[in-house]
Amino acid sequence: EIVLTQSPGTLSLSPGERATLSCRASQSVSSSYLAWYQQKPGQAPRLLIYGASSRATGIPDRFSGSGSGTDFTLTISRLEPEDFAVYYCQQYGSSPQWTFGQGTKVEIK
């Protein structure tokens, strides 16, 4: 079973700052099947990044994804007030086919 470990658990930053979120897999993950989601309180998750580095429809270019193998990163170049939320990485691969990380909360400092 592939386990996704996200770090840090909480990131305290100010608007305008750069956020770097990490997702580490216990085994190699196909870059084609690594995604990132944003979730705000009381809302469903929203797909941000698919295929490790491709932005989903309508996602601003301040969001970018990178990485391969076991190490993946979500970067928010300049935090906007609406970006403070919880972020999850997700992979598709060996059973269980879909797994999520435990999440990183980006909070206002």
Partner 1 sequence: QITLKESGPTLVKPTQTLTLTCTFSGFSLSTSGVGVGWIRQPPGKALEWLALIYWDDDKRYSPSLKSRLTITKDTSKNQVVLTMTNMDPVDTATYYCAHSEIWIQDFDYWGQGTLVTVSS
Partnered with residue 5 across adjacent β-strands are: 24
- Per CB under 8 A, contacts with partner 1 among 50-69 are 50-51, 56
Contact between 98 and partner 1 by CB under 8 A: the answer reads yes
Using the minimum distance from each CB to partner 1, give the nearer residue, 1 or 61. Answer: 1
Contact between 90 and partner 1 by CB under 8 A: the answer reads yes
User: Which residue stretch of 12-20, 61-69, 76-84, 92-100 sits at the interface with partner 1 (rule: CB under 8 A)?
Assistant: 92-100
Q: What is the DSSP string of 24-86?
A: EEEEEE-GGGEEEEEE-TTS--EEEEETTTEEPTT--TTEEEEEEEEEEEEEESS--GGG-SE
Q: How far is CA 22 from CA 34, 45, 84, 89, 103, in A?
A: 12, 18, 16, 9, 10
Using the minimum distance from each CB to partner 1, give the nearer residue, 70 or 103. Answer: 103
Closest CA to 19 of 86, 71, 70, 68: 86
Least separation in angstroms between CB 16 and partner 1: 28
Answer for which of 7, 33, 62, 70 binds partner 1 (CB under 8 A) is 33
Q: Which residues lie near partner 1 (CB under 8 A)?
A: 1, 32-33, 35, 37, 44-47, 50-51, 56, 88, 90, 92, 95-103
